[in-house]
Amino acid sequence: MDWTFTLKWIFSTIGVLGLVYLAFYLSNKNIKRKGRDLEILEGLPLGSKQGIYLVRARDRILVIGITASGMQVLTEFANDSLKKDEAIAVTKEGNSSE
């Protein structure tokens, strides 16, 4: 058996797996992203090019609906002391009364 072939195969496999890991890491599959004034707190994909996102924009928390045709603010919280968990609870309470 040719050892050079085996070593080339092993290093090639490790290289390909490393590239796959690097691509996955750089694609940042985690939806939470943070900028200077904007932060995506929570996201729920509903299908292809559709979703609902909880976004903090400075001192406001927005619930935004996204479709293939555009974006729309579904509700807004202006209380700067409102935390992510409280916003989620308020949103769920509002939905349960309908």
> How far is 70 from 37, CA to CA, in rounded Å?
22
Nearest to 52 by CA among 76, 28, 71, 30: 71
| The pLDDT of residue 81 | 54
- pLDDT tier at 29 (50, 70, 90 boundaries)? low
Task: Dihedral sign for Cα 72, 35, 28, 22, please.
Answer: positive
Tell which wins on pLDDT, 31 or 66. Answer: 66
Average pLDDT over residues 40-55: 87
Long-range contacts of 40-49 (CB under 8 A, 24+ apart): 41/84, 41/87, 42/84, 42/88
Write down the pTM of the prediction: 0.49
> How far is 3 from 24, CA to CA, in rounded Å?
32
